[in-house]
Structure 1
């Protein structure tokens, strides 16, 4: 990663735990950060997802405000962006790995996902773990514990997401097991393996960083003194629906009892509203987003050239507010941003004051 090119390298020894999200901007973080003006001090990551871009700006010594409309992503922000010092120690693990503190209340994962994504004993374990989160009595430790468990579940399930019903079939396939031992490893062991990287990623950059779980259209007018905003909205046509892929994680952290759970994958219904993932709403909400960001001097807007709306439309929407230059990075393979098939391009609109 080319962050070492930056002069302010005091925090660059800290390492972000590599995400498994489809479309995560982790591999582009150095390239994106290159286009941020040197003089900025306060940064907003509006659609933070895995939090890798927010973390990059924290490493660069900026005050970071991070936001995501899914709470499972907000909790990563609480754990690694807002949190400056709390980690999970042995006594915390003793609490988390204790027997279920209230089996009548904490049985949602077993009811929904046993024999679908996990064996019954594994589903019961994550319920038990969830029941003990509150006894940590520290919101940052709680966020860290939930973030690591969510990552453990994506590590364990084939393809790292929950939009299919083949998890246990694949977990019984010797050839797949040979390629990915996590398929048959207990979640408790995976959690223990991942935790040191998360603990080591917690640091204090001397700034009062903050993570939000809001609709960005409502949050933008409330924020002052932001020098740069990074937008990576869930563009239409660019990738599978994130809530269909990661519904289980949101169900786990919210621990809903009042939702319907639909389809073979038991996705929650209704879905959370983003306002950007349907063609009929996307353009009007992008226009509103740019209007509400006009008090922020610099915008970096990620985009993929297979997304909707097209590049020319995006430039037309930005042009009333900012000068726009288009930076492009072509994919040699499909591992990267939203819609990142080989031959497509990751686009960054660099938007500066007129």
Structure 2
């Protein structure tokens, strides 16, 4: 096991450009993972950096995210054992699809919003060809790499603004980040090897899901550790506004309206964790459904709602919990990670069961 774990760390997770991604906290989080874990759940997987860590550690890894573009990362880098994008696959993806008349969504909606017409047409044609690849893992890699290419192409790496083309035509901005003015196909080709090289087999039956976590938890058994990284309510929690284009591209919506200057889809998917009116009940339901999972690690931020002490009180109904803090020295943006705020870990383990032996001595007991 030790040799396998060491060798798995030869594989490098491609650097994400995702608000609140935990790749900068991996060592800190890893230090709080209990021993004897065999199966781990990453419930709000986002960029999948924690799931990738679990996979590197040799765990059977179950990953979930309610947004499909994140699920595609899980399929391509967590569930996938060996499939990569080959030269033959590139020929399929880049070939002009003469039956692509149903694939004009990006050109119709996002030309002159995030892309010039040529890039928009390229994206539509590429999207029409993904379904021609031979299996879901190649398809998911095709989604994952192109979605990452779009965040490279657009300034600030998200789609919650309307400055993309303005900055792409600003020589000073382009001098600092030449990707703003490059064809998206070139960005994709640059990223391809990083993602292909991140595919590996940890000899486990890993699984990626695309559900609201409250729906999927009752269907999952024999999990030793659950990692919860929910949206930080009241602190940059609206991922569907920041990354709406990636979800639109993956789902290729036919039944949504596209609203306001950024052309975000409407109606949005229901999370339950990003609005004050829902979040406390959602946390309580999540913890109740997860109470048979012995260990939890919960990422949070001290500028979120509910406040740290209130969330600790909710957790304490189900687990013994300690709270760890890590301060941000510099603002990184997103999920409350600004200078002066603190990243929080709730490290949760089974409540001690106190009982008396025949000599009336108190004995404490807990699962590993």
TM-score range, shorter chain: over 0.9
Question: Conserved in 2, the CA contact under 8 Å of 1:156 and 1:182?
Answer: yes
One of 200, 212, 215 as aligned partner of 2:212 = 215
**DSSP-derived class of the 1:135 partner:** coil
Distance in 1, matches of 2:150 and 2:82, equals: 25
Name the structure 2 match of 1:131. 128
Q: Tell me whether 1:75 sits opposite 2:75 in the alignment.
A: no
Give the deviation of 1:271 after TM superposition. 0.4
Give the deviation of 1:337 after TM superposition. 6.6
- Structure 1 stretches (4+) deviating beyond 4 angstroms? none
Question: Conserved in 2, the CA contact under 8 Å of 1:331 and 1:344?
Answer: yes
Normalised TM-score (structure 2): 0.93
Q: Tell me whether 1:255 sits opposite 2:252 in the alignment.
A: yes
Query: Residues 170-204 of structure 1, C-alpha deviation per residue, up to 9 Å, x if partnerless?
Result: 11001001000001111110000001000000000
Which structure 1 residue ranges, 5 or more long, are not aligned?
Answer: none
Question: Conserved in 1, the CA contact under 8 Å of 2:331 and 2:339?
Answer: yes
Give the deviation of 1:320 after TM superposition. 1.3
One of 23, 42, 45 as aligned partner of 1:45 = 42
Give the deviation of 1:257 after TM superposition. 1.1
Q: Tell me whether 1:319 sits opposite 2:316 in the alignment.
A: yes
Distance in 2, matches of 1:326 and 1:101, equals: 57
Name the structure 2 match of 1:194. 191
One of 64, 87, 90 as aligned partner of 1:90 = 87
User: Of the two, which has the highest radius of gyration?
Assistant: 2
Name the structure 2 match of 1:35. 32
One of 322, 333, 339 as aligned partner of 1:342 = 339
Question: Conserved in 2, the CA contact under 8 Å of 1:24 and 1:336?
Answer: no
One of 215, 221, 224 as aligned partner of 2:221 = 224
One of 239, 253, 266 as aligned partner of 2:236 = 239
Distance in 2, matches of 1:352 and 1:43, equals: 14
Name the structure 2 match of 1:148. 145
Question: Conserved in 2, the CA contact under 8 Å of 1:44 and 1:228?
Answer: yes
Which structure 2 residue ranges, 5 or more long, are not aligned?
Answer: 352-368
Q: Tell me whether 1:159 sits opposite 2:156 in the alignment.
A: yes
**DSSP-derived class of the 1:183 partner:** helix
Distance in 2, matches of 1:337 and 1:114, equals: 27
Question: Conserved in 1, the CA contact under 8 Å of 2:232 and 2:305?
Answer: yes
Aligned counterparts, 1:2-41, within 5 A: 8-41=5-38
Normalised TM-score (structure 1): 0.97
Give the deviation of 1:7 after TM superposition. 9.6
Distance in 1, matches of 2:143 and 2:290, equals: 32
Distance in 1, matches of 2:259 and 2:60, equals: 40
Give the deviation of 1:9 after TM superposition. 1.5
One of 103, 108, 112 as aligned partner of 1:111 = 108
Name the structure 2 match of 1:277. 274
Name the structure 1 match of 2:362. none
